[in-house]
Structures are given as C-alpha cells and as structure tokens.
Chain A
Amino acid sequence: MDVLQTLINGIALGSVYALVAVGLALIFGVMRLINFAHGELITAGGYTLALASAFPTVAAIALAVVVCVALAWLMERVAFRRLRNAAPATTLVATFAVAFTLQAVWLIAFGPQGESADVLSSLNRTAISGELSLRWITIAMLVTGAILLGGTVLLLNRTTIGLQMRAAAADFRAARLLGVKADMVISVAFVIAGVMAAAVAVLLTVQRPLVTPTFGLEVVILGLVGVVVGGMDRLGSATCGGFAIGFAIAVLGDVLPSDERVFLPSAVFLLVIIVLVLRPGGLFAPRRPATVERV
C-alpha cells in the first residue's frame, strides 16, 4: 500500500508539473522562447488567490485565471515580441531578467513575508482513509491535470488554431507563408500558458498556502529542468519531462530517509546532469542520428 500511496502522490505532483511543462513548451514551440518568467505568472496567480480569499471560491479562481492570462498577454506584447528571432540562450537570460524584475515588484507590493492564500484549504482533508490515504487535493491534482492536458490535446488536434500552432511549431516561416497569422498563434500560446499557470497556482497553494515573491520561481526552475530533460522540441516529450520531474520529486521525497532528505535537490539535479550528458536532446525525444548538437 505504501508503494501505491507513493505512486499516487508521484502521479499527482507529476500532473501539476506537466501543466507547467505545457505552459513552457507551447511558447517554446511557437516562438522558440524559453519563458523563465512563467513562474511569475504562477506567483501572480498565487497572490490573486491570497488577495481574493474573502471572495467565493469560484470567483477567486476565475479572477486568478484572468490575472494570469492578462499578465501573460502583457509579457508577450511588451517584452517578448522582440525576442522572436534571438538565440534560445539569450532569450533565457532575457526572460530571467523579466522574472527578476517582477519578483522585485512583488517584493515591493507584498513584502518578503508572504501572503496567505487560503482558497481551497478544505481540499487538504482526507477523502479516503484506511490503508490507502487519499486527500481531496491529490484527487484534484489528478483530475485537473487530466482535464487540462486532455483539453490541450483536443485543442491542438481538433481545432484549426491548434493545427496552426502545431504547424508553426514545426516550421514557423512555412506556416506564415500559408497565411497563418503569427501574432494570433503566439497570443493563443500565451493565453493557454496563463490558464495553466493559474491552475498550478490554485493546486499548489492548497498544500502551501504561503505565497512569497519566489513562489513561482521554484516551480518554474524545476519545470524548466523537466522540460529540457524530457525534450524541449516536442510538446509530448516536454510534457513527459515535466511529469517525470514532478513524479521524481514526490517519490524521492517519500522514499529518502528524512535526514537525507535535505540532499534531495542534489539527487534530483545529479540525475538531471546524467540524463543530459547521455541524451542531450531529452529523454523522451525520438532517437535521431547524432549530427550536430541540438539547439
């Protein structure tokens, strides 16, 4: 039962990180931009929930979605539009700068001690007890993850805009030459990223209600690592990578003896280095004849 418990926790956290991965990978796909500032969307969502604690739950969540989407759209319009043709590593540093700036803004606006986002704390209660203990939040993570991921897959595969996004991700110029509107496709990617960020903020604040300026940063660092380890080039492999890192963190957290648990980050990152050295294109990327180094 312990094993099953750990597995379920792993899948739940994996689902959350998969949502983070989708947000990162969609934008990378259409813009070749690695959005380090994605974490700030999550933080913004967290702060919105904190400020809207008094509102009815549904309203608070809706507000968080609106804020995240608006901020994402703003980021694209004001800062990222010009980065479209820059090298990936340059965009990483630039988005890092945007993230850093936003963190400083949170610091001024809300102070370092953090705000409490008490929106869905009732989900912390146990749903099923007995040998297998399942909290509502774990179920919520699984269900939300499934719905949003499923929704994204449907959007990409069954709608025209989704088709255009997939085409743009494969070959942006060819897509434009067919009449695909570049701005539209990119805006949609950011909107979806905003929605994902809001969902992640809602899910994570249940177990960690204190929202600090670096709330989202920690998540996006791991998410980014997961995406690169999984394989940044394709949405599928990137999402798997995000899932894998969430899964690994949850499982290792359960499995490692508690005094060794402090070294959990080292274990995870060592694993990351090993994977990257052996498979720089990503764990789940289709094997290709090694020609030039990727990206």
Chain B
Amino acid sequence: MTAPEPAGTAPILEIEDLEVRHGPVPAVRGASLDVGAGEIVGLIGANGAGKSTTLLTVMGAYRPRGGAIRFRGETLTTRRTEDIVRSGIALVPEGRHIFGHLTVAENLRLGLAGRRSRNGVDDLTDWIHELFPVVWDFRSRHAGALSGGQQQQLAIARGLLADPDLLLLDEPSLGLAPSVVDSLWRVLDEIRGRGVTILLVEQRAQITIELAERTYVMHNGEIRTVLRPDDADDAERIGHAYFGA
C-alpha cells in the first residue's frame, strides 16, 4: 500500500515494495513508504518488525530481494554504503555504535568522512555544539565513558556532521529516560527546522506519532497503516496496527 503523497512536495526518499531477506528468512515483505523533503516521518512497529532492516537496506548494508529505493529520484540499491552516505543520507544506528575507545572529538571527526565537500564545516560544527553542548564539554574523554543519553547525542551530532539532506534515526530513544527523550525530541524539531529531512524509526509509538507529519506502522515486514498526529491518542487504532489488524 503506498502512502498518499504529501501535498506539493516531491518525495526525497521513496521506498517501493521493498523485499529483504536474511538468508531464508524474510525481514521486509513488500513495504512502501515516502518521505517528503523537510518532513519528519515516523516508522514504528514491534521488535523484529523489520524497521532496522529497512534503514540498513537504504544505507546499502543489505541488498534487497525486490523492490526499489530512490533518493531524489536516483536508485540506491546498487550503490556501496560509503557512496550512499556521500550522496546525502546519514544513519544514526540502533544502539548508537559509538567507538568507545576513541575520544568524543575523534568520533565526531569520523562523521566528516561522509561529507560531500569541506564547505561549511565550521558553521555546522558551531551549530552542533549549540545543539549538543555535551559534545564540546566531553571532547577529550573516551566516548565509552559517556552516559546513554550523551552517547545518543554524540551519535546524532556525528551523523549531522556529514551534512546530510536526509537523516535516518534508528530507535534513538532506546534506553533513555523520558526527560532526556523530551529534549531529544526538541532537538529533532530544530534539526528539521534547519532543512534536514528525518526518517525516525521508533518503538515508542505515541511520541513519534505526535512528532511526525505521518507515521507508518510496520508489522511483520509489511506496512499497512499510516497514522497522523491526530491519531496519537487513539490507543486502540495504534494497538491494532502495531500487532497486525
């Protein structure tokens, strides 16, 4: 099922009938979604629904069995991960994958690897330090010494340094206290305000539905429902979609 096109904006990311398998096991079966430029779009679902796999396939970590992924109209599925990053997509992976033995500053510098050009690095760096002060304060510490919330901020900062047009986030709220999640959500809004499109994969349904323009619900590798911010309080509808109506 394809989502209704957001009025007026060409989708920056199109996923069409995506099929991905892990060996013989299907992880994503014919899922479709669109992300319009400048939007925050959510993708929620239970554990194992196929959300992470979808994001990783966009990034080229997996080769899909079928379907298409297009970024600004160009097919992504045959390209290498590092090239996909350079075309303007960054992923903040599930579990953050911070390099614990490297310092915070070094982790950030790695984010520069995905840049298309060196222009605007200073500007971007200043903005990132504003968004995430902890990244400056702890710059010489080993990243492994940071708390979960701080590591999440570092991961997002690192992703932003690649100057992406599209930022993919995989369960950024995982393991974080509600107050931390709140401030994180405000940051996401600010990031969107700067022109970065966001595809947000989450398990926490309600806050995602509230934040995003629209939220796709994935169940067992398929996307069957799209929810709007108005549906945020409709627990029954959410529950049905989550666990498969």
Contact = CB atoms under 8 A, between A and B. Distances in A.
Given A177-B61, A177-B85, A180-B82, A163 B102 contact: yes
Given A163-B109, A163-B110, A173-B61, A179 B99 contact: no
Q: How many A residues touch the partner, as a band?
A: 10 to 19
A211 B80 CA distance: 43
B184 interface: no
Interface string A140-180: 00000000000000000000100110110011011111111
Which of A160, A176, A181 neighbours the largest number of chain B CB atoms within 10 Å of its CB? Answer: A176
B59 A180 contact: no
A178 B61 contact: no
A182 B109 CA distance: 17
B98 to A, nearest CB: 8
A181 B86 CA distance: 10
B99 A167 contact: yes
Given A167-B99, A170-B101, A171-B97, A178 B111 contact: yes
A167 B102 contact: yes
A179 B86 contact: yes
Given A179-B113, A180-B113, A182-B82, A174 B61 contact: no
A160 B162 contact: no
B172 interface: no
A160 B109 contact: yes
Contacts of B113: 160, 164, 178-181
Nearest to B111: A178
Contacts of A170: 99-102
A220 to B, nearest CB: 28
A177 B102 contact: no
Contacts of A174: 93, 97, 99
B201 interface: no
A179 B97 contact: no
Nearest to B161: A178
Contact of B85 (A163, A171, A179): A179
B110 A177 contact: no
Nearest to B56: A177
B91 interface: yes
Contacts of B61: 173, 176-177
B85 A178 contact: yes
Interface in B77-131: 80-82, 85-86, 90-91, 93, 97, 99-102, 106, 109-115
Nearest to A234: B101
Given A163-B102, A167-B99, A173-B61, A179 B82 contact: yes
A176 B99 contact: no
B158 interface: yes
A179 B93 contact: no
Contacts of A182: 80-82
A175 B101 contact: no
29 contacts: A160-B109, A160-B112, A163-B106, A163-B109, A166-B102, A171-B97, A174-B97, A174-B99, A176-B61, A176-B81, A176-B82, A177-B59, A177-B61, A177-B91, A177-B93, A177-B97, A178-B85, A178-B110, A178-B114, A178-B158, A179-B82, A179-B85, A179-B86, A179-B115, A180-B82, A180-B113, A181-B82, A182-B80, A182-B82
Interface of B: 59, 61, 80-82, 85-86, 90-91, 93, 97, 99-102, 106, 109-115, 158, 162
Interface of A: 160, 163-164, 166-167, 170-171, 173-182
